Amino acid sequence: MPPFPSQAEVEETLKRIQSQNGVQGIIIVNTEGIPIKTTLDNASTVQYAGLIHQLVMKARSTVRDIDPQNDLTFLRVRSKKNEIMIAPDKDAFSNKTSFLLY
C-alpha cells in the first residue's frame, strides 16, 4: 500500500483529535524521546517529552510488576488546571508514544 493515503489518514486523525472540545495540544514522541509532531511551542514540547516519558515508563513497569500479564493502556494525569492524557504504544518500550494535553 502506498504510504501517502496512510499518511493522510494520520493527518486526518490528528486533526480530528485536535478539533475535539477542550484539547489544548498534541505531542507525538518516539521511544528515544524525540518529539516527532507537536502543535505546541518547542520549549513546552521538549519539557513535556522529557518529563512524561519517564512517568510512562514508571507506570508501565508498576502495572507489569503487579501482574506480568497486564499492561498499561492509558494514563491520565489530572491536575488542578488541566489533564494530561497519555496513550502508550502497545509494544513494550515501543517506538512511539503519543500524548496530548487536555
Residue 80 touching other proteins (CB under 8 A): no
Contacts 24+ apart (CB under 8 A), 15-21: 17/100
Matching residue, cell 508514544? 97
DSSP string over 26-37: EEEEETTS-EEE
Whole-number Å distance between alpha carbons of 64 and 42: 33
Residue 96 touching other proteins (CB under 8 A): yes
Residue 102 touching other proteins (CB under 8 A): yes
Residue 36 touching other proteins (CB under 8 A): yes
Residue 92 touching other proteins (CB under 8 A): no
Count of residues that bind other proteins according to CB under 8 A: 41
The site for other proteins (CB under 8 A) is made up of 3, 6-7, 9-10, 13-14, 16-17, 20-23, 28-30, 32-37, 46, 49-50, 73-74, 76, 78, 83, 85, 87, 89-90, 94-98, 100, 102
